[in-house]
Amino acid sequence: MATGLTLSEQFFRDQAASAATGDLSTVLNRVSLAARMLAAEIMRAGFVGRLGLTGDRNVQGEQVRELDIISNDIISQVMDHAPMIAGIGSEELEDVYAMDGSENGKYVLTIDPLDGSGNVDVDGALGTIFGIYRRPAHRAGEPAAAQDVLQPGRELVAAGYVLYGPSTMFVYSAGNGVHGFTLDRSIGTFFLTHPDIRIPEGTGSYAVNEANEIDWEDPVRDMVATFRRQESRCGKRQARYTGALVADVHRILLKGGVFMYPPTATKPEGKLRLLYENAPLGFVVVNAGGAATDGRTDVLDITPTELHQRTPLYIGSSGDVAEVRRLLHGS
Ligand code: FDP
């Protein structure tokens, strides 16, 4: 007899605490709907001429692609009229977007709508990263603002990512394990395919943009050389770097290893954004038994002071991240 298939909607509902109102499941369902819409847009983008640059730059000063705009619009549309979501902090928006009529919403969403957009032109993997925070109670009734979102990753209620690769995967944690779903494109449904993911130890790859070596500080250069020469205590590692953070972290979540984006001379805080990338991915990886640090502090313990704040990132198997700390700072 065939084994049962678990739909994402059913899983989100079953995982919620019995006293839950269903609001968190609703938010997760909406994120997964946005993911399905985005997967379809990405698939079509090449032949409807939507791969190019718009000519604008975003708040980070990076070139904006049509797909960046499309993905941000999809997220806003899908979250509109969801009264439990007071606002959205997006990597594409300068300020928090307060949802009309949702001043009493209990959650705020952080989102990197299209991660790895440099891969758009070459049909490489792309991602979406999201985090869901509870709003401070005293903010009820006010339009959402930055202070609702400026919370440490430890306060995340749920976080996850979508990987648009050969298949589309939705991976999330609500603090109770990490679970992965694969999209059946023919019927537009996510099925549970990877329950209770645990990040392996002692295997896998290291992922870092080694072309930045010239801009690294000596301890970083020495550390990466230690990995490259297979001299780290972690054991033998392959080098893998896709240019899409979600794809690299997903591989490491399933196979083990460590992803690194160290500070460089031109980017002393690294490139990646704490609220939109590092904290939500840190939440997922830590809930799978791994670790995430900026080199000294656990990523989940850093309280952001700015919406678009960047921090260095070392994320992956606990043993590998411990080795990074040891090689960088001796502890
Ligand atoms: P992208 O700029 O293409 O969107 O944070 C964005 C990100 O990609 C990550 O997905 C990726 O890991 C990293 O930047 C790649 O940066 P480098 O090209 O500097 O290695």
CA dihedral 23, 26, 30, 36 (to 10 degrees): 150
Determine the distance separating the centroid of ligand 1 and the alpha carbon of 271, expressed in angstroms.
8
Of the candidates 76, 137, 60, the one whose C-alpha atom is nearest the C-alpha of residue 109 is 76
Q: What value does the mean pLDDT of the chain take?
A: 93
Write down the pLDDT at residue 1.
53
Atom 6 of ligand 1 has which residue's CA nearest to it? 116
Contact in structure between 225 and 218 (CB atoms under 8 Å): no
Q: Does 240 have pLDDT greater than 90?
A: yes
Write down the pLDDT at residue 18.
63
Which whole number is the average pLDDT over 157-170? 97
Q: Does 226 have pLDDT greater than 90?
A: yes
Write down the pLDDT at residue 109.
97
| CA 137 to chain centroid | 26
For ligand 1, mutation pick of 216, 249, 271 (most atoms within 8 Å of CB): 271
Contact in structure between 319 and 203 (CB atoms under 8 Å): no
Q: Does 3 have pLDDT greater than 70?
A: no
For the ranges 9-18, 239-248, 263-272, the lowest mean pLDDT is seen at 9-18
Angle, in degrees to the nearest 10, between helices 245-255 and 279-287:
10
Cβ neighbours, 10 Å, residue 98: 18
86-114 pLDDT tens trace: 999 999 899 999 998 889 999 999 999 99
Which whole number is the average pLDDT over 240-247? 97
pLDDT band at 81 (very low <50, low <70, confident <90, very high): confident
DSSP string of 203-220, one letter each residue: -SEEE--GGGGGGS-HHH
Contact in structure between 280 and 160 (CB atoms under 8 Å): yes
Which whole number is the average pLDDT over 226-255? 95
Q: Does 215 have pLDDT greater than 80?
A: yes
Q: Indicate whether residue 117 lines ligand 1 (CB < 6 A).
A: yes
pLDDT band at 330 (very low <50, low <70, confident <90, very high): confident
What residues contact residue 187 under an 8 Å CB cut-off, 6+ apart?
Answer: none
Contact in structure between 290 and 315 (CB atoms under 8 Å): yes
Q: Indicate whether residue 271 lines ligand 1 (CB < 6 A).
A: yes
pLDDT band at 49 (very low <50, low <70, confident <90, very high): low
Q: Please name the residue that has the structure tokens 């991660």.
A: 115
Rounded CA gap, 331 and 316, in Å?
17
Half-sphere exposure of 46 (CA within 13 A, CB side): 8
For ligand 1, mutation pick of 112, 115, 310, 311 (most atoms within 8 Å of CB): 115
Of the candidates 95, 86, 89, the one whose C-alpha atom is nearest the C-alpha of residue 143 is 86
Write down the pLDDT at residue 187.
95
Write down the pLDDT at residue 312.
98
Write down the pLDDT at residue 123.
87
Q: Does 2 have pLDDT greater than 60?
A: no
254-264 pLDDT tens trace: 999 999 999 99
pLDDT band at 44 (very low <50, low <70, confident <90, very high): confident
First-residue to last-residue Cα distance in the chain: 53
